[in-house]
């Protein structure tokens, strides 16, 4: 009897997990539809989306309770993202070990640390490239709060979280314009059939997204390169293409992985201005990892310093500069 209960419980849990995934997927689909509507100026269809989103959110909440996961998924007022005891272990290596902090809405937040401190791992956990060993990542998307660990990699971007990469990951075989259009891939609602036969619905979407991509290119000041293939373009331009691609989905939360790597001083200064401008124009939160302390101290409003996956200090740039533990982690202790 006990074994039977266990088996039944196993299947019930499986079924609920399946439903959970299903409703999460639907929720993402409606977010996408809503974004696409905004692009195509179709507010009438937005009402339907809102109703569907509310329905999915309610179902997900119910399922969470049934799955015994009614953890207090609350974010404090004004926060957009919270890491809660985030752990990421690779075998015996503790890349991230119990990291917790909160990022406020509209902040430029920096993550610093010596090489191998686990900064990029934190990014990869947020964007779900890695499945965290433990801990939760709460993200505020409009009215509801979502645990990002429930999502798949390709479902993160419809929530408005987009990222760039440490070593530029542009697509060599596409032109700059097409590279940027990839960033809006999550906005396309037409299916394979429309793509195969170039139905009018696809043409309409394509036109809207092309126009938007051209606007973003102009914003990033690289519209002169629109028709060029990405292969062989200068490094600075490639970096800008990556940021442009991340901007295509109207990000609420922009993740920049070492944006100043390989740039000279003048370019870094321009980048700092650009990051501030993007934050103001897109009203998004910027979360960046950087080794260039000049840039970090210049643009960031708050900084978190980590070493070997553990937090050393968090605070304003001034506080971090004066922190003993941070200085020790970078330069080594002076007792010897």
Write out the residues near another protein by the rule CB under 8 A: 127, 129, 152-158, 162-163, 165, 169-174, 178, 181-183, 185-186, 188, 190, 192, 195-198, 202, 206, 245, 249
Q: Is the CB of 111 or the CB of 246 nearer to another protein?
A: 246
Asked whether 278 and 247 are in contact (CB, 8 A), the reply is yes
Q: For residue 243, what are its two tokens?
A: 């940021």
Question: Which residue, 102 or 242, has its beta carbon nearer to another protein?
Answer: 242
Residues 300, 303, 305: CA angle, nearest 5 degrees: 145
Least separation in angstroms between residue 228's CB and another protein is 15
Radius of gyration for the chain, computed over Cα atoms and rounded to the nearest angstrom: 22
**Crossing angle between the packed helical segments 200-219 and 2-40, to the nearest 10 degrees:** 70
Measured from the CB of residue 301, what is the shortest distance to another protein in angstroms?
A: 25
Q: Which residue, 314, 290, 288, 292, is CA-closest to 302? A: 314
**Residue (259 or 317) nearer to another protein, CB:** 259
* Comparison of 72 and 173: residue with beta carbon closer to another protein: 173
Annotate 98-125 with b (16+ C-beta within 10 A) or e (fewer).
ebebbbebebbbbbbbeeebbbbbbbbb
Q: How far is the CB of 282 from another protein (least distance, A)?
A: 17
CA–CA separation, 282 and 330 (whole Å): 34
Pick the closer one to another protein by CB: 144 or 178: 178
Residues β-bridged to residue 304: 111, 314
Query: Residue 52 or residue 175: which is nearer to another protein going by CB?
Result: 175
Query: What is the Cα–Cα distance from 28 to 158, expressed in whole angstroms?
Result: 6
Contacts of 315 (CB under 8 A, 6+ apart): 302, 303, 323
The least CB distance from residue 190 to another protein, in Å, is: 8
| Residue 175 beta carbon to another protein: minimum distance, rounded to whole angstroms | 10
CB of 153 to another protein, least distance (A): 4
**Angle, helix 44-66 to helix 2-40, in steps of 10 degrees:** 160
Q: Kindly tell me which of 61 and 154 has the beta carbon lying closer to another protein.
A: 154
User: Is residue 313 within 8 Å of residue 319, measured between CB atoms?
Assistant: yes
CB of 27 to another protein, least distance (A): 14
């Amino acid at each position: 009897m006990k074994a039977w209960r266990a088996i039944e419980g196993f299947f019930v849990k499986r079924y609920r997990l399946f439903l959970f995934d299903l409703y999460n997927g639907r929720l993402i689909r409606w977010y996408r539809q809503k974004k696409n509507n905004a692009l195509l100026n179709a507010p009438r269809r937005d009402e339907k989306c809102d109703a569907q989103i509310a329905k999915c959110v309610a179902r997900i909440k119910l399922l969470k309770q049934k799955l015994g996961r009614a953890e207090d998924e609350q974010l404090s007022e004004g926060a957009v993202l919270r890491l809660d005891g985030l752990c990421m272990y690779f075998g015996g290596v503790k890349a991230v070990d119990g990291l917790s902090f909160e990022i406020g809405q509209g902040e430029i937040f920096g993550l610093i640390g010596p090489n191998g401190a686990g900064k990029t791992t934190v990014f990869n956990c947020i964007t779900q490239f890695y499945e965290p060993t433990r801990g939760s990542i709460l993200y505020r998307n409009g009215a509801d709060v979502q645990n990002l660990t429930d999502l798949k990699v390709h479902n993160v971007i419809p929530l408005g979280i987009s990222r760039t990469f440490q070593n530029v990951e542009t697509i060599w075989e596409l032109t700059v314009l097409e590279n940027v259009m990839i960033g809006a891939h999550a906005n396309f609602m037409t299916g394979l059939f429309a793509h195969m036969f170039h139905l009018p619905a696809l043409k309409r979407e394509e036109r809207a997204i092309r126009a938007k991509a051209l606007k973003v290119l102009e914003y990033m000041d690289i519209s002169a390169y629109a028709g060029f293939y990405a292969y062989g373009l200068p490094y600075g331009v490639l970096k800008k293409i990556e940021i442009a691609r991340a901007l295509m989905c109207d990000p609420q939360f922009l993740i920049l992985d070492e944006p100043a790597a390989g740039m000279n001083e003048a370019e870094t200064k321009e980048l700092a201005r650009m990051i501030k401008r993007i934050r103001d124009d897109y009203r998004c939160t910027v979360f960046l990892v950087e080794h260039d302390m000049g840039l970090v101290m210049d643009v960031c409003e708050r900084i978190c310093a980590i070493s070997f996956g553990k937090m050393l200090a968090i605070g304003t740039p001034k506080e971090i500069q004066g922190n003993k533990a941070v200085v020790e982690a970078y330069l080594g202790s002076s007792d010897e």
